[in-house]
Amino acid sequence: MARIALATTAALIDVDVDDAALLAALPEAELAAWETPTDWAAYDLVVLRSTWNYIDRLDEFLGWAESVAAVTRLVNPVPVIRWNTDKRYLAQLEAAGVPVVPSLFVAPGEQPPDDALAGRIVVKPAVGNGSNGAALLDGDPTAAAAHVAMLHAAGRTALIQPYLEQVDTLGEKALVHLGGSFSHAATKGAILSKEMSFSTGVYADEEISPATASDAEIAVARAVLDATAVLLPDAADLAYARVDLLPTDDGPVLLELELTEPSLFLTQADGAADRAAAAIRDLLR
């Protein structure tokens, strides 16, 4: 039987619910923390899963991924990880014709225009996951500029986006694809407009519920993945992808494309864990 590692982090106190579901459906797999010395060559496949603390150690994490890929197969592949861990990929997808939440990137040493700091906006790091480092500012340009400066002081590029109000009532829709095919959807309740709690310091608690994806959402998600495959040929070899969409009056728009270590909400849809296990096994063939 093939040996499969599900890469996680030693920083997690408990096994992630997705990882637990996948382990049950994929008995040939075991958890292994990315930052712990491990004989990665002993595995036939290493699948990135809950490596969520990489955002503060990106160079180390990417070096680890390169070292693993040198001795065994890593999914999703290293070129995909390098591209996807920096949200500046959103600008490339927008240029490719994908509907994207308007996104302004401000690197350290740069200053955002004054009008970019007005109104109800989200300011977050271009390298980040979940809501780590993100702030919702409501008509307070001074506070927005201070948050940008804080990110810059940490050496991070800031991402400024308008807050799309419909998320408060309709939520954020996550469309999960496994082995290149749409599997299921889930609704994520708005986080930034509510008080956040970080259960472990690694992730923020979220309100997740099963959802049905509309034809428009499925079409946008497919357009996102097709554009990604053109921009990044390695993206044709994915174990999973999660396309996060926000509602607008003009239809769904891309908030984030999660190809590195997304929660897949495997307990939110019947058979999802089995489909994930099958997609992983297919990569071994």
The answer to whether residues 48 and 74 touch, using CB atoms and an 8 Å cutoff, is yes
If one counts every other C-beta atom within 10 angstroms of the C-beta of residue 200, the result is 14
156 with 242, same domain?
A: no
172 with 257, same domain?
A: yes
Choosing from 162, 193, 212, the residue where a domain stops is 162
Number of domains in the chain: 3
- Residue identified by tokens 């780590």 is 132
Residue pLDDT tens, the chain, 285 long: 899 999 999 999 999 999 999 999 999 999 999 999 999 999 999 999 999 999 889 999 999 999 999 999 999 999 999 999 999 999 999 999 999 999 999 999 999 999 999 999 999 999 988 778 899 999 999 999 999 999 999 999 999 999 999 999 999 999 999 999 999 999 998 756 555 444 445 555 668 999 999 999 999 999 999 999 999 988 877 999 999 999 999 999 999 999 999 999 999 999 999 999 999 999 998
Total length of the chain: 285
Q: The domain spanning residue 252 has which CATH number?
A: 3.30.470.20
Per-residue CA distances from 156 to 13, 122, 126, 153, 256 (Å): 27, 15, 7, 7, 18
Biggest CA-to-CA distance, the chain: 59
63's enclosing H/E stretch is helix 58-69
Choosing from 162, 177, 204, the residue where a domain stops is 162
153 with 188, same domain?
A: no
Tell me the residue range of the domain where 14 lies.
4-80
121 with 223, same domain?
A: no
133 with 209, same domain?
A: no
Choosing from 135, 162, 189, the residue where a domain stops is 162
Q: The domain spanning residue 74 has which CATH number?
A: 3.40.50.20
89 with 199, same domain?
A: yes
226 with 94, same domain?
A: yes
* Cα(81)–Cα(101) distance, integer angstroms: 21
The answer to whether residues 75 and 235 touch, using CB atoms and an 8 Å cutoff, is no
212 with 90, same domain?
A: yes
53 with 95, same domain?
A: no
* DSSP state at residue 57: S
Pairing of strands 240-246, 172-178: antiparallel
187 with 201, same domain?
A: yes
42 with 120, same domain?
A: no
147 with 220, same domain?
A: no
What's the confidence (pLDDT) of residue 201?
53
